[in-house]
Amino acid sequence: MEVYNSSIPDESEDERLEGSDDDPDWLPESSDRRKKRTLAVQSSEGSDESSDEESCGPQSRQNCSRYLSTQWHDINKNDSEKHQPVWCCNPEDLQPLQSPIDYFQQFFTGELLENIVDQSNLYSIQRDPNKSLSTNVKELEQFIGICVYMSIFGLPRSRMYWASNTYVEKIQNVMSRNRWDQIKNSIHFNDNSCMTERDDGKKDKLFKVRPLIDSLKNKFNEIPLNDQQLCVDEQIIPFKGKSGLKQYNPKKPHKWGYKLFDLCDSHGIMHDFEIYSGQIMPVPNLPDLGASSNMVLR
């Protein structure tokens, strides 16, 4: 396979015929020959740039910095100040995922779905003992699948997916509109009667979704981590509804939404996260280094 710079335009017919009058034995240059000549020119330019970098002195170092790129270098385990990330589980026990649903079920396990079903049925009875939700895991999976399928179309109102003019067949055939509304109004993740204050006297703003968060965090922590190139940064989940956890940052692409602190590797895989719900407290048994440093230590 021949690789050449596609940004260099091909010569026109007049340019290729130029010089034919000077040399009677001249023949038009073929496209393959022109490609090879382009590669030779590029390689010579690259060698000139490398020689220029080596000859750069202190005064012209700023001009040569644009040729230099930052590179990561692995360090030996014995020379590492802290413990290096290792596999959280045995790699031999890991099975390749066959489909997206298998990957989804690695995070939304049967135990988590059972807990959501129990808490949703309990919450419906707490609201009205005469109107129990009486849902099950299979129906909950259908509800989650409909939510994911709705995000593909993005209609402004949920009832439009069942309307005669804008209905979606794969959604309409799975669940009725009234049943979907009933599950949406009753879905719950934690028992409201168990809501208590934390040790510092403040309420947990994420109490109602705490079991879901803890379950997902444990699953993210189980992802094999064998990379020294890690990053802790903010992430905004777009949301413009009414919520005390909603943040506003005009410098972000999505200015309104929930703010998360993520721990990711160089492959873009998230291994841990924490939802910002107010003040960032220092890590126990460690000094208070400020909000950003405390989040990194956490």
Among 43, 67, 91, where does a domain finish?
67
Query: Is residue 199, in this structure, part of any structural domain at all?
Result: no
Same domain, 107 and 188: yes
Query: Is residue 110, in this structure, part of any structural domain at all?
Result: yes
Count of CB atoms situated within 10 Å of the CB of 171: 20
Same domain, 114 and 180: yes
Q: Does residue 67 register a pLDDT over 50?
A: no
Query: Is residue 87, in this structure, part of any structural domain at all?
Result: no
Instruction: Please give, one letter per residue, the 3-state secondary structure of 15-42.
Output: HHCCCCCCCCCCCCCCHHHHHHHHHHHH
Same domain, 107 and 184: yes
Helix 100-107 to helix 210-221 angle (10° resolution) is 120
Same domain, 38 and 119: no
Q: Does residue 73 register a pLDDT over 90?
A: no
Percent of the chain topping pLDDT 90: 27
DSSP state of 51: H
CA 27/CA 30 separation, integer angstroms: 9
Same domain, 180 and 236: no
Among 192, 216, 250, where does a domain finish?
192
pLDDT grade, residue 189 (50/70/90)?
very high
Q: How far is CA 67 from each of CA 4, 48, 50, rounded to the nearest angstrom? A: 21, 12, 9
Domain count, the chain: 3
The H or E element spanning position 111 is helix 110-127
pLDDT for res 121: 94
Same domain, 179 and 106: yes
The least confident of 20-29, 93-102, 202-211, 280-289 is: 20-29
Same domain, 59 and 116: no
**Burial class of 209 by CB neighbour count within 10 A (0 to 12, 13 to 18, 19+):** middle
Q: How far is CA 280 from each of CA 119, 165, 276, 289, 293, rounded to the nearest angstrom? A: 29, 49, 8, 11, 10
pLDDT for res 34: 60
Same domain, 234 and 179: no
Percent of the chain topping pLDDT 70: 66
Query: Is residue 210, in this structure, part of any structural domain at all?
Result: no
Condensed to tens digits (0 to 9), the pLDDT of residues 150-182 reads 988 888 888 999 998 988 888 989 999 999 999
Say if CB 211 and CB 115 are below 8 A apart: yes
Condensed to tens digits (0 to 9), the pLDDT of residues 85-113 reads 555 556 666 666 678 888 888 899 999 99
pLDDT grade, residue 224 (50/70/90)?
confident
Q: What is the domain extent for residue 274? A: 227-297
Query: Is residue 76, in this structure, part of any structural domain at all?
Result: no
DSSP state of 150: H
Same domain, 231 and 187: no
Which of 84, 88, 135 minimizes the C-alpha distance to 113?
135
Helix 137-153 to helix 110-127 angle (10° resolution) is 90
Query: Is residue 162, in this structure, part of any structural domain at all?
Result: yes
Among 140, 166, 192, where does a domain finish?
192
Same domain, 105 and 176: yes
Query: Is residue 282, in this structure, part of any structural domain at all?
Result: yes
Query: For 212, how many CA atoms within 13 A lie in the half-sphere containing its CB?
Result: 15
Same domain, 45 and 112: no
DSSP 269-287: -EEEEEE--S--PPPTTS-
Locus of tokens 């947990």: 204
Same domain, 125 and 166: yes
Query: Is residue 219, in this structure, part of any structural domain at all?
Result: no
Given phi > 0 = left and psi -120 to 50 = alpha, else beta, which region is 257? left
Higher pLDDT, 197 or 282: 282
Amino acid at 59: Q
